[in-house]
Amino acid sequence: MALQGSLSELSLPDVIQLVAVSGKTGAFHVKRGEIEGEIFLTNGQITDARVGELRGEHAVYEMAIWSDGDFVFEPGVISSDITVRKSNANLMMEAARRMDEWRVLSRKIPSLDLVPVFPTRDRHQDQVTLSPQEWILVTRIDGKSSIEEIARALRWAAFDVSKLLFGMVTSGLVELMQPGEGGQSGGYLDARPSPVTLLGLAEKIRKMALSIVGGEGEGAIENQYQNARTRIEHGDGIGAIRTMIEDHGRTIAQLKGADVADMFAEEVQPLLGEQVAGAGSGAV
């Protein structure tokens, strides 16, 4: 007979330990909303786990923090894959640590269904320094996707996304909205593009310029890009992007000729308009 229950009444780590102590072989089928995962045990030892794009111990940790959902343990089911090599004790210790950390994170991130958005920021506060992981994350924030949806798109654990968002929410860089409330947050879709939007635009323009000049002009393009990033982080707005485009254009003209530089300018303008439409000259 299968063991089943609700994660709101009994945590997954507790259930796993209960079954593991008895040395059973089988599979936990875990479901939270539309997300389903599996954890396989062989003679009481966890050997394989999967949820979404996550496999192995990271999948175990992801499901361990779920506070709602349902589980079913199906005896006798075996996985041919071995993706977990840590002992149950080590897995559960790390899961317990993450659950404790999740309790702290949940003070600002009470639900994975919330939607991250960029709030309106005063121009003089637009100094943003992002780690590589934070930069990857902010490029996925579109004001529509929930934390869980962003995590799936990035193939990251929702726990790891939440840890990054916790710092952003605390610093005021990001706000969290209920699904469907986008545009009602007091103006996060401000006419002025956010620093994050501008940093993303600068990165795209940089790549376009590098594809034209190649290694010959890489150093100059990189210096111009870094200068633009510094200006954006200090609140210079769209003016930093326009200066960067002009600098890239001069470098391309010197290395590849005026015709190629004109082609670059034509390719960049639609991108500029798409990303910062409505900003206007007053945003400089």
User: In tens digits, what is the pLDDT along the chain, a chain of 284 residues?
Assistant: 578 999 988 889 999 999 999 999 999 999 998 899 999 999 999 999 999 889 999 999 999 988 889 999 999 999 999 999 999 999 999 999 998 998 899 889 988 889 999 876 554 455 566 787 887 888 788 888 999 999 988 889 999 999 999 998 988 888 999 887 654 444 433 445 677 778 888 888 999 999 999 888 999 999 999 998 888 878 777 788 889 999 999 999 999 999 999 888 888 877 665 544 444 333 33
**pLDDT value of position 279:** 42
The CA-to-CA distance between both ends of the chain, in Å, stands at 68
Alpha helices in the chain (DSSP H): 12-21, 57-64, 88-105, 132-138, 147-154, 158-171, 195-213, 218-233, 238-256, 258-275
Burial of 269 (0-12, 13-18, 19+ CB in 10 A): exposed
pLDDT at 1: 54
Q: Cα-flanking dihedrals φ and ψ of residue 144, to 5°? A: -125, -35
Whole-number Å distance between alpha carbons of 112 and 120? 23
How long, in residues, is the chain? 284
Amino acid at 213: V
Q: CA–CA separation, 20 vs 34, rounded Å?
A: 27
The CB density around residue 236, as the number of other CB atoms within 10 Å, is: 19
Which single residue is written with the structure tokens 């593991």? 20
In this structure, the number of other CB atoms found within 10 A of the CB of residue 166 comes to 18
pLDDT at 120: 64
Backbone angles phi and psi of 5, in degrees to 5: 180, -170
Is the distance from CB of 20 to CB of 44 less than 8 angstroms?
A: yes
